[in-house]
Amino acid sequence: MLKIQVQNSALYLLSGALALSAAILPAQAQNAGQASGKSFVDDFDKLDRQRWYISDGWSNGDHQNCTWSAKQVSVEDGKLKLGFAKQDYKERNHVCGEVQTKERYGYGTFEVRMKAVAGSGLNTGFFSYIGPVDKQPHDEIDFEVLGKDPSKVQVNQYVNAKSVGSAKLAEVPGGADKDFHDYAFVWEKDRIAWYVDGVLVDEATDPDKLPSHASKIFLSLWGSDTLTSWMGAFEDPGAPVTAEVERVSYTAPDDPCQFPESIVCKLKQGTQ
């Protein structure tokens, strides 16, 4: 089985997750140039169950100190809310929230506007992922706010279960936990580019370090007692905490810009 690497937030190792994920999607191979997912914008006026699957009843491995709970996922006032709270559930003493798309998405632009959670040992994530639970190689592209220092966001990528990116920590002006910020990555066959509030913060161009399999989109908040060298020593927040998402979108290559704040608009205008 895969060795857990500390930069990774998306290792689905338990049999419960395996069965649930297998029920969602077909098993055939699907490269990033053949993905079925179409362009969309979700402003969360409701929780679209046709688009989103809510993780519930398992954790991603021994490194995770919370169990995914559907009760930690809600939509209120035009925002997706992902919670983390102290509660015994399925052999863990905390619960946490995650959603994942039912469709797989390939090359294109992935964007989120979100407010992360502060707290050592907590992780607020926006990423694409596919892996063994979908009978695919493990490919992944990440934005992860480590609550021990929410002034920054970590960007990274995985190819065939190996961390091959820079794991760079990029500054988030004003702090990822203090306000909503825009995070985007543009995934192309020969390049990945990561943007924070419309500013390019990292890119990858080595062909051996670029994911190539169509992936699902994930939004999550979770914690760990054991990944201290990466996430810091876990400190119980003492009360429920919530990450919030105002918007998430995917724009396929050559499709028009879908909303004025999109990085796609800026790139088409040649401002980045």
Between 28 and 131, the more confident residue is 131
What per-residue confidence (pLDDT) applies to 70?
98
Is residue 167 within 8 Å of residue 150, measured between CB atoms? Answer: no
pLDDT digits (tens, 9 = 90+) for 180-235: 999 999 999 999 999 999 999 999 999 999 999 999 999 999 999 999 999 999 99
Among residues of the chain, what percentage have pLDDT more than 70? 89
Beta-sheet pairing, 162-163 with 152-159: antiparallel
For residue 248, give Cα distances in angstroms to 42, 107, 167. 5, 16, 22
pLDDT level of residue 270 (50, 70, 90 thresholds): confident
pLDDT level of residue 17 (50, 70, 90 thresholds): very low
User: Per the structure block, which two tokens stand in for 165?
Assistant: 């990116």
pLDDT level of residue 90 (50, 70, 90 thresholds): very high
pLDDT level of residue 120 (50, 70, 90 thresholds): very high
Cα separation of the two ends of the chain: 41
For residue 163, pLDDT over 60 is answered with yes
For residue 97, pLDDT over 70 is answered with yes
Tell how far CA 195 is from the center of its chain.
Answer: 15
What per-residue confidence (pLDDT) applies to 272?
55
For residue 13, give Cα distances in angstroms to 9, 44, 156, 222. 12, 29, 20, 16
Among residues of the chain, what percentage have pLDDT more than 90? 85
Residue written as token pair 């069965």: 19
What per-residue confidence (pLDDT) applies to 36?
80
User: Per the structure block, which two tokens stand in for 52?
Assistant: 């989103």
The one-character DSSP state at 99 is: E
What per-residue confidence (pLDDT) applies to 30?
76
Residue written as token pair 């989120």: 112
Is residue 245 within 8 Å of residue 220, measured between CB atoms? Answer: no
Is residue 130 within 8 Å of residue 150, measured between CB atoms? Answer: no
What is the Cα–Cα distance from 225 to 35, expressed in whole angstroms?
Answer: 36
pLDDT level of residue 33 (50, 70, 90 thresholds): confident
Q: What is the mean pLDDT of residues 144-169?
A: 97
Q: Which of 130, 101, 120 is nearest to 220 (CA)?
A: 101
For the chain, give the mean pLDDT: 90
Please list, in sequence order, all residues whose beta carbon lies within 8 angstroms of the beta carbon of residue 91, skipping any fewer than 6 positions away. Answer: 67
Q: What is the mean pLDDT of residues 49-73?
A: 98
pLDDT digits (tens, 9 = 90+) for 98-111: 999 999 999 999 99
Residue ranges per domain, the chain? 34-269
Per-residue buried b or exposed e for 95-113, using 16+ beta carbons within 10 Å of the residue's own CB: bbbbbbbebbbbbbbbbbb
pLDDT digits (tens, 9 = 90+) for 235-263: 999 999 999 999 999 999 999 999 999 99
Is residue 210 within 8 Å of residue 193, measured between CB atoms? Answer: no
For residue 6, pLDDT over 90 is answered with no
Is residue 170 within 8 Å of residue 194, measured between CB atoms? Answer: yes
Catalytic residues: 140, 144
The one-character DSSP state at 104 is: -
What per-residue confidence (pLDDT) applies to 32?
86
What per-residue confidence (pLDDT) applies to 79?
98
| Residue 265 phi, psi dihedral angles, 5° rounding | -60, -45
Is residue 182 within 8 Å of residue 194, measured between CB atoms? Answer: no
Reported pTM: 0.90
Question: Which fold, 34-269?
Answer: Jelly Rolls (2.60.120)
Q: What is the mean pLDDT of residues 44-66?
A: 97
Residue written as token pair 């490269």: 31
What is the Cα–Cα distance from 79 to 235, expressed in whole angstroms?
Answer: 26
Please state whether 63 falls in left (phi above 0), alpha (psi between -120 and 50) or beta: alpha
User: Per the structure block, which two tokens stand in for 15?
Assistant: 């049999």
pLDDT level of residue 28 (50, 70, 90 thresholds): low
